[in-house]
Chains A and B, each alone.
Chain A
Amino acid sequence: MEVTDQKKERCSVIHIKGRLDTTNYTVLEKKLMELIDRGENRLLVNLSGMDYVSSSGLRILLMALKRITVSNGKFALCSLQENIKEIFEISGFTNIFEIYDTEETAVKSF
């Protein structure tokens, strides 16, 4: 799994590529915490490349969301794959996260 981030005008975009599971979630965790600690509280996670996520991964995203929300920032997701959408729905995360279809629309929202 690869995690890349890209700083943009309005926000920072993080790309996740590959599986996000219990074996590698810490990678994402580290990255996100880094960014947040740096003061980046406008984060967009682009999940177009994530083809699998388990509860561990979701937990990390949730954590990030909580932290950013507390600091009055914005944390959004975009470009979810179909299967991932289902997972988010089942878990009810669709109610919690701001999810956008495309990165463009997501970025505009910042």
Chain B
Amino acid sequence: MKSLAFRYSIFFSLSIFIIFFIYFIITLGYSIQLLAEDTKKNTETLTELTLSRLTNALSSVEQMPLVLGKSLEEPSPDYYEILRILQGIVLNDPYIFGTCLAFEPYTFQKDSLYYAIYSYETPKGLRTKYLGGRSYNYFTKDWYRVPRERCKPGWSEPYYDLGAGDTLMCTYSVPFFKDVKGKQQFMGVLTLDISLSSLGKIVSKIKLYKSGFGVLISKGGIIIYAPDSTLINTNILEIAKERKNEKLEEIVQKMMNGESGNESFSGLDKKKSSEVYYSPLASTGWSVGIIFPVEEVYASLLNLVKYLLAAFGIILGVVMLVTILITNRLTSPIKKLVRLTHQIGHGDFSVEIPKVKRRDEIGVLANSFSVMLEHLRSYLQDLERTTAEKKQIESELNIAHTIQMGMLPREFPRRSECELFAILDSARAVGGDLYDFFFIDQDHMFISVGDVSGKGVPASLFMTVVRTLYRSRTMDGQPLHQIMSLINQELCKDNPNVMFVTMVSGIINLKTGFIELCNAGHNPPLLLEKSGKVKKIGLFPAIPLGIMEYHKFRTEKVQMEPGDRMVLYTDGITEALNIRGELFTDQRFRQVLRDKMNADVPSLVKGVVDSIHDFSAGVEQADDITLLILGFQKTGVHRQLPVESRDLTVRDKLEDLPLIVSCVEEISRTWNLSSKASMEVNLVLEELFTNIVFYAFADKKEHKIDIIFELLAPGLLQIRIEDDGRHFDLLEASEEVKTDGPLEERKIGGLGIHFVKQMMDGMKYTRKGGKNCVLLIKHF
């Protein structure tokens, strides 16, 4: 993360730096200029001051001899008086340390060549001595000679006069004259000596900057004063030439010329860049020079710059720091938010956004963030809840599915008598279908297919109840219709939601192929016969279980032949939809059964289910698809020798009916038929017998009718009625009887066959060898 604080502080610092820098440069330039001017002024002032001091010092010297010189030119000067005055001057004037009155040869005294009185100061007092002699020929000395030649006062060059004073000095000589015969005759020279060291003191007062100093040089280039005493009385010009310092030469030359000005040069030893300001002392022709290293001028400036820079550095540092601090203060809430966001991003929603008191944009942001987080939390809670609910629903569906699947018997029976296979293809939202089968006993199997109203767990549980009921009741050995009635009653009780179940149940005798079916409001089972004919088994429109408490249930009896298949299914098959919205329909179902009938039962079942899937490809399955097929294949039951049998032959005359009655009576007794069963057998036989009598024979001959009673197994009665009449399937003879029709619609005839169908557990007509044969099966 590129820190805002850092960035801004850099930005601000840089801006300040640039501004300051520009200002600095400007100010610096200005300062330098000022300073230079200042320096110039200062130096010039100092120079002037020094010069004026020097002038002062010198003028006092210059004036005295002039005044005295005049008195010397009187006709008879009092030389001793003059001398006394001069001595007084010497004593009083700080600069004058010696005075001399020197005469022309033989002038003062006619016999003296030399006459010069020299008085000078010593630490012990004034001393006077007479100058002149072979060792000291003052006539040749500059102090005497020059004024004589020039006839005017002047200063000498500095010199070391060992003879007088023993110090470096300068002499001011004033020639004096006597008027002789109208001509000014040179008489002698009055001198005053100045100790250059005292003069030097004036110059030595020059202090400029740190090491700036003043020098005093004579007209001849001799250094009268310099702070470096070794230079005193040296010829600076010579030195400059020696040192090949051309610039210095130039300057010295100018000074000697009596010019004033200022130059830059590199110093005496060419090391330091220096400035020299020089100005002449008019009276003597000397020149005062003030020299200072340039750097010292700007030293203070440099210091100032250093201070400024330091201050600047500090300010910069402070600015950066302050900026960082301020920006941090600004951004710390943001940083906090960033951190919190990271936490949230990692899934931790328990973070709390600290309340920000600020009212500025940051505060608003933080608070908005807080609000957003709240919303996010509640949204997530909702999401969690919805997801949980959805999961719950799904898990409920899963539970329902598990319950449903748990109820299905896993293994299909392997019995030679039958082939049973079933598939339950459940829809996503468990539709409540069920198939079931189990062995009641060695020879009897219960099969069922059902469909519970509703979906989900309640439907599945309801189905469990139903299953428990019929399983327990069946084991009691009760007949099917009673089982269904009992189940119905149970379900009707405590059924506030009026859940119901449609169901087809059946009990098959695996030895005989005889099956009793009960339909409670369900799709009628289909019998796929060996021949390929598909027959609907369903004469009773029945209502589903769980609706009407005391509804009576009827059963349908079918005798299955080897190769026949009983097909139980739910409406998930017939009502399967395809993309175009067409139903699978009953017709298509039957056709598919016919088409695949040659396969074994498992393949048949799978094949049908596959064709349904193909049909409804692309459409989500709306309901469970259940298909159970039971194929009967036992051969030989019919061939099985009956346990007992009775034969009866009657004529085709109604009067023979009592014979039948008594035979039935007898077998009822012997074979333990219930009175009900007995009555039913009687009734059925009477009906059939009557029909045969009336319809089987076209001629008027007497015919015989054989009735064979066989007890195939305990509780299983088979009756065969055979006649040699014309082909007459008396079972098909009559149309269906509407037993619920109103009085007006009831036809008188047709009831007989209806009884047969209802009361017998199986009936079949065959024609063999010119004989009609009706086979009846009765369980009792």
Q: Which residues of A contact B (CB under 8 A)?
A: 19, 21-23, 51-52, 54-56, 58-59, 62-63, 65-66, 69, 82-83, 86-87, 89-92, 95-96
Whether A96 and B746, one on each chain, are in contact in the complex, defined by CB atoms closer than 8 angstroms, is: yes
Residue of A whose beta carbon sits closest to that of B676: A83
- CB-CB < 8 A to B739: which residues of A? 90-92, 95
Which among A51, A54, A69, A95 is the interface contact of B686 at CB below 8 angstroms? A54
Which among A59, A83, A95, A96 is the interface contact of B751 at CB below 8 angstroms? A59
Chain A contact residues, majority secondary structure: helix
- CB-CB < 8 A to A82: which residues of B? 676
Q: How long is the Cα–Cα vector from A91 to B675 in the complex, in angstroms?
A: 19
Q: How long is the Cα–Cα vector from A98 to B683 in the complex, in angstroms?
A: 23
Q: How long is the Cα–Cα vector from A66 to B737 in the complex, in angstroms?
A: 18
6 inter-chain pairs at a CB distance below 8 angstroms, sorted by A residue, are A52-B679, A59-B751, A66-B743, A82-B676, A83-B679, A92-B739
Q: How long is the Cα–Cα vector from A46 to B746 in the complex, in angstroms?
A: 23
Which among A21, A69, A91 is the interface contact of B743 at CB below 8 angstroms? A69
- CB-CB < 8 A to B754: which residues of A? 90-91
Residue of A whose beta carbon sits closest to that of B742: A96
Whether A92 and B687, one on each chain, are in contact in the complex, defined by CB atoms closer than 8 angstroms, is: no
17 extra A-B contacts, CB within 8 A, seeds A55-B690, A58-B751 = A23-B658, A51-B679, A52-B682, A54-B687, A55-B751, A59-B748, A59-B749, A83-B676, A86-B676, A87-B755, A90-B739, A90-B759, A91-B737, A91-B739, A91-B751, A92-B737, A95-B740
B260 interface hit (Cβ, 8 Å): no
Whether A87 and B683, one on each chain, are in contact in the complex, defined by CB atoms closer than 8 angstroms, is: yes
Q: A62-B746, A83-B676 are in contact. Are A90 and B758 (CB under 8 A)?
A: yes
Whether A22 and B654, one on each chain, are in contact in the complex, defined by CB atoms closer than 8 angstroms, is: yes
- CB-CB < 8 A to A66: which residues of B? 743
- CB-CB < 8 A to A63: which residues of B? 748
- CB-CB < 8 A to B748: which residues of A? 59, 62-63
- CB-CB < 8 A to A69: which residues of B? 743
Q: A83-B676, A90-B759 are in contact. Are A55 and B740 (CB under 8 A)?
A: no
Q: How long is the Cα–Cα vector from A64 to B99 in the complex, in angstroms?
A: 201
B741 interface hit (Cβ, 8 Å): yes
- CB-CB < 8 A to A92: which residues of B? 737-741
Q: How long is the Cα–Cα vector from A55 to B742 in the complex, in angstroms?
A: 18
- CB-CB < 8 A to B687: which residues of A? 54-55
- CB-CB < 8 A to B751: which residues of A? 55, 58-59, 91
Whether A96 and B743, one on each chain, are in contact in the complex, defined by CB atoms closer than 8 angstroms, is: yes
- CB-CB < 8 A to A65: which residues of B? 743
Q: How many residues of B contact A (CB 8 A)?
A: 30
Whether A23 and B743, one on each chain, are in contact in the complex, defined by CB atoms closer than 8 angstroms, is: no
Residue of A whose beta carbon sits closest to that of B740: A92
Chain B 447-481 interface mask (CB, 8 Å, partner A; 1/0):
00000000000000000000000000000000000
- CB-CB < 8 A to A62: which residues of B? 746, 748
Q: A69-B743, A90-B754 are in contact. Are A52 and B654 (CB under 8 A)?
A: no
Q: How long is the Cα–Cα vector from A99 to B719 in the complex, in angstroms?
A: 33
- CB-CB < 8 A to A59: which residues of B? 748-749, 751
- CB-CB < 8 A to B548: which residues of A? none
Q: How long is the Cα–Cα vector from A52 to B681 in the complex, in angstroms?
A: 11
Whether A52 and B683, one on each chain, are in contact in the complex, defined by CB atoms closer than 8 angstroms, is: yes
Top 7 A-B pairs ranked by shortest CB distance?
Answer: A92-B739, A55-B751, A55-B752, A90-B758, A54-B686, A83-B679, A59-B748
- CB-CB < 8 A to A86: which residues of B? 676
B655 interface hit (Cβ, 8 Å): yes
Q: How long is the Cα–Cα vector from A54 to B664 in the complex, in angstroms?
A: 15
B657 interface hit (Cβ, 8 Å): yes
Whether A22 and B686, one on each chain, are in contact in the complex, defined by CB atoms closer than 8 angstroms, is: yes
Of residues 729 through 744 on chain B, the ones whose CB sits less than 8 Å from some CB of chain A are: 737-743
Residue of A whose beta carbon sits closest to that of B656: A23
- CB-CB < 8 A to A58: which residues of B? 751
Whether A23 and B676, one on each chain, are in contact in the complex, defined by CB atoms closer than 8 angstroms, is: no
- CB-CB < 8 A to A91: which residues of B? 737, 739, 751, 754-755
- CB-CB < 8 A to B738: which residues of A? 92
- CB-CB < 8 A to A54: which residues of B? 683, 686-687, 690, 752, 755
Q: How long is the Cα–Cα vector from A55 to B690 in the complex, in angstroms?
A: 10
- CB-CB < 8 A to A83: which residues of B? 675-676, 679
Which among B552, B676, B690, B741 is the interface contact of A22 at CB below 8 angstroms? B690
- CB-CB < 8 A to B749: which residues of A? 59
- CB-CB < 8 A to B740: which residues of A? 92, 95
Residue of A whose beta carbon sits closest to that of B694: A22
Chain B 682-708 interface mask (CB, 8 Å, partner A; 1/0):
110011001000000000000000000
Q: How long is the Cα–Cα vector from A54 to B759 in the complex, in angstroms?
A: 13
- CB-CB < 8 A to B676: which residues of A? 82-83, 86
Q: Would you give the shortest CB distance from A85 to chain B, in whole angstroms?
A: 11
Whether B655 and A23, one on each chain, are in contact in the complex, defined by CB atoms closer than 8 angstroms, is: yes
Q: Would you give the shortest CB distance from A52 to chain B, in whole angstroms?
A: 6
Whether A55 and B755, one on each chain, are in contact in the complex, defined by CB atoms closer than 8 angstroms, is: yes
Q: How long is the Cα–Cα vector from A93 to B755 in the complex, in angstroms?
A: 12
Chain B 475-499 interface mask (CB, 8 Å, partner A; 1/0):
0000000000000000000000000
Q: Would you give the shortest CB distance from B542 to chain A, in whole angstroms?
A: 14
Q: Would you give the shortest CB distance from B116 to chain A, in whole angstroms?
A: 193
Of residues 561 through 578 on chain B, the ones whose CB sits less than 8 Å from some CB of chain A are: none
- CB-CB < 8 A to A22: which residues of B? 654, 657, 686, 690
Q: How long is the Cα–Cα vector from A83 to B687 in the complex, in angstroms?
A: 17
Q: Would you give the shortest CB distance from B217 to chain A, in whole angstroms?
A: 166
